[in-house]
Amino acid sequence: MRKPKSNKLRIIHLLLLAALLLLTAKLIYAQVRGGDSVGRIEWTSMQLYRSGSNYDESYNYALRLDAKSGQMLYDCSFKAPANLNDEIWRCELESVPVTREELAPLDALIQGLPLAPPKAPEPVDENLFVCDETREIFDVSIANCKDRSVKKLTAPLESEQREELQKLFLQLYLKAKDRAPVHN
């Protein structure tokens, strides 16, 4: 017959289990961050997106690595004022190649963010009716060529970080817009 465990042994067992879980979580986080606290993240795509009822405040900025050419491609869609007369005009680019030099400021900002796998969404209350839900997305993808897997990562963005990202994407637009293919 088996003896029941004492309370002290159960507490020790639970503490050891908690320590093991914490150590495992830290190791997984270190692998995502590149192996150590100064590891470099080699991202293959990024998206900063916002949609809502106000079309003027909605935007979509995206970068993705083209597997065939090996180039980073830039897509964007947003509204901006045109010069000093404050007219609003639509800015759009699709699949415009950008250089590493042009991406350097954006990459530097990404390297400093606390990227982690996204949390599972909270369950939706069926009784709650939302007329117009503003949706925001920020994610960075890291692709592993060996096993063809992709890890989606995200970071909680403070308003200053979001504004800085938007500013960097706008600067990228200004550099890349003249290289955009002309659509007739």
For 2-17, write each residue's pLDDT tens digit: 555 577 777 776 676 6
Rounded CA separation 89/138 (Å): 24
Q: What is the mean pLDDT of the chain?
A: 75
Using the predicted structure, report yes or no on whether residue 32 has a pLDDT greater than 80: no
pLDDT value at residue 178: 86
Give 149's contacts (C-beta < 8 A, 6+ positions apart).
Answer: 143
pLDDT value at residue 29: 44
Place of tokens 């699709």: 94
pLDDT value at residue 79: 79
User: 50 to each of 36, 73, 107, how far by Cα in Å?
Assistant: 32, 20, 21
**In the structure, how many helices (H) and strands (E) does the chain have?**
3, 6
The DSSP output letter for 116 is B
| Cα dihedral 73→78→83→89 (10° resolution) | 120
Task: State pTM to two decimals.
Answer: 0.65
Rounded CA separation 132/129 (Å): 9
Give 112-170 pLDDT, tens digit per residue: 888 888 887 666 666 665 555 667 778 788 776 566 677 888 888 888 998 999 899 98
